[in-house]
Amino acid sequence: MHLVFGTRGIKHCVDIWKAHMQSQYFPYVRKGSSFVQGALQPMQFWSYVFPKESFNDVMWNLGLTGKYNLPKSMIYGVLRKSLNLKKIPELQLNQEDLKKIPNRFIYKDTVSIYPIGIKEDADGEDKAENL
């Protein structure tokens, strides 16, 4: 079974809760008598704030380099509209652009990234709450 729910709280308290949830084992009787670990699979939304000039760098290092193959669902369009976001432009890089992008190690082997939208800051918006 899959139980879907949300959490909210102080980060270190949520981290402790996550560790406890990930350490739970349950009887599994389908194939003999054994136990199976509960699988806590996060479904999270993130907002990543960065300078506009670093768009290529951020998109490249997150692996968002072409057409975005989102699962067929209206939810992404609904989320984008409700969050007042625009569609993310397709990344257009030439060889010269690629040379300018620093090679960063960002572990994402078992992480799926589903881009939803993008929002530009108004000129002069330097306050964190506006980003």
Containing structural domain, residue 125: 45-131
Q: What is the pLDDT of residue 97?
A: 81
- Name the residue type at position 66: G
Distance CA 88, CA 49 (A): 14
What per-residue confidence (pLDDT) applies to 19? Answer: 92
Identify the pLDDT of residue 53: 84
What pLDDT does residue 16 have?
93
Q: Do residues 21 and 67 both lie within one domain? A: no
What is the separation, in whole angstroms, between the first and last Cα of the chain?
Answer: 38
Alpha carbons 128 and 130: distance in angstroms, whole number: 5
Is there a single domain that holds both residue 78 and residue 122? yes
> Which residue type does 88 have?
I
Structure tokens at 80: 């984008």
Per the structure, the count of domains in the chain is 2
pLDDT score for 93: 83
CA distances from 54 to 79, 81, 97 (A): 24, 24, 11
Regarding whether 58 and 29 lie in a shared domain, the answer is no
pLDDT value for 131? 46
Q: Is the pTM of this model over 0.85?
A: no
**Do 27 and 57 belong together in one domain?**
no
> Does 53 lie in the same domain as 114?
yes
Q: Kindly list the averaged pLDDT for each block of 10 residues, start to end, along the chain of length 131.
A: 75 90 86 84 84 86 72 77 88 82 77 84 61 46
